[in-house]
């Protein structure tokens, strides 16, 4: 009978890992649909960002209370995974708590820490559910999240609570069985948290208790493997992509826009035609700005997949706050949705990120104030996408509000965005 469980476990594990890998490769392919950009300079600064922003969650601490709760869930998630390792070895080898005899008293300390973290994770997730669904924080009830995204957030929190409770139930039943001297349940000493809850199970028979312990064990690991495969279809993917996103984040001052060397070159040739004669001929017509996801950089698309839809960007955005159509969070969600659509379709479609997903009205409401960039805990830059799309609108489609066209022509003709005579430029000094 034991060998059947072991085989079953192996099959489930291999299937879960295979499916997860398959999805991860699809996401990688989608991200690489973006154009190339070199973000490997200054490795020391990049490692520092990875440590501070991703591991240290520096930006989260702009709101310390939420940061601490989030840190519990994050630390719990990473540290409790050591326990998953034991569960996987037990499942494959048919053993029970294989680390216990090896680690001796250290085992008790480890499990104790896991249990405390499990309680903290469950409590924090419960508080997060309350913030989302009962206190109804503005950024969580925003229409940005209507439909699937709002459910997604709740599913993640509920799943984490359930997984933690299963883990604690499993340990409590184990402790009860140990106390009764049941076969295979070797004494480990009292677990720090669940050791106190053993009396809860005093009314159960040995076989019922074993059923509870085994049931919780299986549901927990099946839940973990199912969650592993839910992850890359969900906003929860940020737990992985926050790390590369912090490493590859733009190191330029926030106010510096990306240069366009092709246009710089063209202007240079216009100004100094003698240089143009020796210029290498190019037969490709360059594209200016971004109309679809292929025109954005791979980092923009990595940003989109790293977004956890927390809405700190939109809560700080002057346009969103004053009821404009623009919401930087939606810019990221729409970019990801479009990347998914392009990645899935076998043949090119006639849609594009511009207009089918993001409207001109949204793009034109941006004040380039960088509040969204400043706020993002996982180093996403919605502004970079907005500015590339504005470049497409103006340079490829000549689409700009009338006032902007007047501003352009004033700059061209009067060297200032307003219609004043250049001769009066120093009139203030008279």
Q: Which residues bind other proteins (CB under 8 A)?
A: 62, 252-257, 259-260, 263-264, 266-268, 270-271, 288-289, 316, 318-319, 321-326, 361, 364-371, 373-374, 387, 390-395, 400-401, 403-404, 406-408, 411-412, 415-418, 420, 422-429
Rank residues 6 and 410 by Cβ distance to other proteins and give the closer one: 410
Q: How far is the CB of 408 from other proteins (least distance, A)?
A: 6
Rank residues 75 and 395 by Cβ distance to other proteins and give the closer one: 395
Rank residues 225 and 358 by Cβ distance to other proteins and give the closer one: 358
**Residue whose tokens read 């980092």:** 299
C-alpha separations of 346 from 29, 232, 302 in Å:
13, 21, 22
What does DSSP assign to residue 203?
T
Q: What residues have CB less than 8 Å from 132, skipping those under 6 apart?
A: 140, 150, 153, 154, 157
Rank residues 148 and 420 by Cβ distance to other proteins and give the closer one: 420
DSSP E strands, 92-211: none
Rank residues 21 and 367 by Cβ distance to other proteins and give the closer one: 367
Tokens of 285: 């017509």
Q: What residues have CB less than 8 Å from 274, skipping those under 6 apart?
A: none
DSSP E strands, 48-113: none
* Rounded Cα–Cα distance for residues 197 and 123 (Å): 17
Contacts of the segment 10-17: beta carbons below 8 A, 24+ positions apart:
10/92, 12/222, 12/225, 13/88, 13/91, 13/92, 13/225, 16/225, 16/226, 16/228, 16/229
Rank residues 349 and 361 by Cβ distance to other proteins and give the closer one: 361
Q: How far is the CB of 42 from other proteins (least distance, A)?
A: 16
Closest Cα partner for 77 from 114, 39, 127?
114
* Rounded Cα–Cα distance for residues 343 and 5 (Å): 38
Q: How far is the CB of 273 from other proteins (least distance, A)?
A: 13
The secondary structure of 251-281 as a DSSP string is -S-TTPPPP-HHHHHHHHHHH-HHHHTTSPP
Q: How far is the CB of 299 from other proteins (least distance, A)?
A: 19
Q: Are the beta carbons of 121 and 73 closer than 8 angstroms? A: yes
Q: Are the beta carbons of 358 and 331 closer than 8 angstroms? A: yes
Q: How far is the CB of 289 from other proteins (least distance, A)?
A: 7
Q: How far is the CB of 219 from other proteins (least distance, A)?
A: 44
Rank residues 18 and 420 by Cβ distance to other proteins and give the closer one: 420
Rank residues 23 and 324 by Cβ distance to other proteins and give the closer one: 324
Q: How far is the CB of 272 from other proteins (least distance, A)?
A: 9
Q: How far is the CB of 24 from other proteins (least distance, A)?
A: 34
Rank residues 163 and 331 by Cβ distance to other proteins and give the closer one: 331
Rank residues 187 and 417 by Cβ distance to other proteins and give the closer one: 417
Greatest alpha-carbon span in the chain: 100
C-alpha separations of 134 from 54, 105, 126 in Å:
29, 43, 11
Q: How far is the CB of 243 from other proteins (least distance, A)?
A: 23
Tokens of 299: 């980092």
Q: How far is the CB of 419 from other proteins (least distance, A)?
A: 9
3-state secondary structure at position 6:
helix
């Amino acid at each position: 009978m034991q060998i059947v469980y072991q085989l079953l476990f192996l099959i489930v594990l291999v299937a879960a890992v295979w499916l997860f890998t398959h999805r991860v490769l699809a996401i990688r392919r989608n991200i690489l649909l973006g154009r190339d950009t070199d973000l490997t300079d200054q490795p020391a600064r990049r490692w520092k960002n990875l440590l501070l922003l991703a591991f240290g969650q520096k930006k989260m601490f702009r709101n310390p209370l939420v940061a601490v709760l989030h840190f519990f869930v994050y630390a719990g998630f990473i540290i409790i995974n050591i326990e998953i390792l034991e569960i996987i070895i037990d499942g494959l080898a048919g053993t029970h708590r294989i680390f216990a005899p090896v680690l001796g008293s250290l085992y008790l300390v480890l499990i104790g820490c896991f249990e405390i973290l499990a309680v903290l994770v469950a409590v924090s997730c419960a508080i997060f559910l309350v913030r989302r669904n009962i206190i109804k924080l503005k950024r969580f009830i925003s229409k940005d999240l209507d439909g699937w995204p709002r459910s997604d957030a709740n599913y993640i929190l509920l799943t984490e609570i359930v997984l933690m409770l299963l883990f604690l139930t499993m340990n409590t039943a184990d402790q009860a069985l140990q106390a009764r001297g049941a076969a295979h349940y070797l004494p480990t000493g009292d677990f720090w948290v669940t050791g106190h809850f053993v009396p809860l199970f005093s009314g159960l028979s040995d076989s019922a208790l074993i059923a509870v312990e085994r049931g919780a064990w299986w549901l927990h690991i099946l839940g973990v493997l199912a969650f592993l495969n839910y992850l890359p279809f969900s906003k929860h993917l940020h737990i992985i992509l926050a790390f590369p996103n912090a490493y590859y984040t733009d190191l330029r001052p926030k106010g510096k826009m990306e240069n366009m060397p092709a246009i710089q070159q063209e202007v240079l040739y216009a100004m100094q035609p003698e240089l143009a004669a020796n210029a290498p001929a190019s037969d490709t017509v360059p594209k200016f700005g971004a109309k679809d996801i292929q025109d954005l950089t791979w980092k923009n698309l990595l940003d989109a997949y790293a977004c956890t839809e927390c809405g700190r960007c939109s809560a700080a955005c002057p346009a969103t706050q004053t009821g404009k159509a623009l919401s930087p969070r939606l810019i990221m969600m729409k970019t990801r949705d479009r990347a998914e659509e392009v990645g899935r379709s076998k043949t090119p479609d006639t849609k594009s990120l511009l207009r089918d997903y993001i409207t001109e009205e949204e793009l034109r409401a941006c004040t380039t104030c960088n509040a969204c960039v400043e706020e993002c805990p996982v180093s996403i830059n919605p502004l970079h996408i907005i500015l590339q799309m504005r470049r497409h609108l103006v340079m490829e489609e000549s689409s700009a509000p009338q006032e902007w066209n007047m501003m352009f022509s004033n700059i061209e003709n009067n060297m200032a965005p307003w219609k004043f005579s250049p001769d009066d430029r120093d009139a203030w000094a008279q």
